[in-house]
Amino acid sequence: MTKFSKLFLFIIITIMAVSCGNKADMIKAGSICTIDDGEGKFGVVKVLVINDQEAHIKIYKNKYDQRPSKIDLKTLSLGSINDKDGNIGIGHVPLERKGFDSWKPVIVDFEEVTKDDLVGYEFWKNNSN
């Protein structure tokens, strides 16, 4: 391989790596992501607010044995403490961004963040000082 060929190959690989980027960097408010729950299952979250320092998410009660590549959003639920399966969701959870990223989120869908989604976040924001 010539010097020019090696340089050309290096440039192409670099461009591909930069353009693909870290998928976690593509997560935005409204992203529906599957996450590794750390207990051998996969959960689902909706990103409410996100920046470099923090992520505010809604955690659904739904759990999967394998990471799903698609989710029917109509099946997502927060559930209640009365549910017999023992799973329960949480409407708002503030996390450090690095903590959220450690859950290995993978975007599977998108749904606009609504005013109702932000009730817990707004309460937190107004009372966190």
Domain boundaries, the chain: 24-127
Asked whether the predicted pLDDT for residue 7 surpasses 90, the reply is no
Q: What pLDDT does residue 4 have?
A: 46
| Cβ contacts of 80 within 8 Å, gap of 6 or more | 88
pTM: 0.79
Is there a contact between 71 and 35 (Cβ–Cβ < 8 Å)?
no
Asked whether the predicted pLDDT for residue 124 surpasses 90, the reply is yes
pLDDT in tens, 50-85: 999 999 999 999 999 999 999 999 999 998 888 888
Q: What pLDDT does residue 96 have?
A: 96
Asked whether the predicted pLDDT for residue 88 surpasses 50, the reply is yes
Pick from 39, 41, 68, 59: nearest CA to 100: 59
pLDDT in tens, 99-120: 999 999 999 999 999 999 999 9
In the chain, the DSSP E strands lie at 31-36, 42-50, 54-64, 90-96, 106-110
Question: Tokens 């992520």 appear where?
Answer: 55
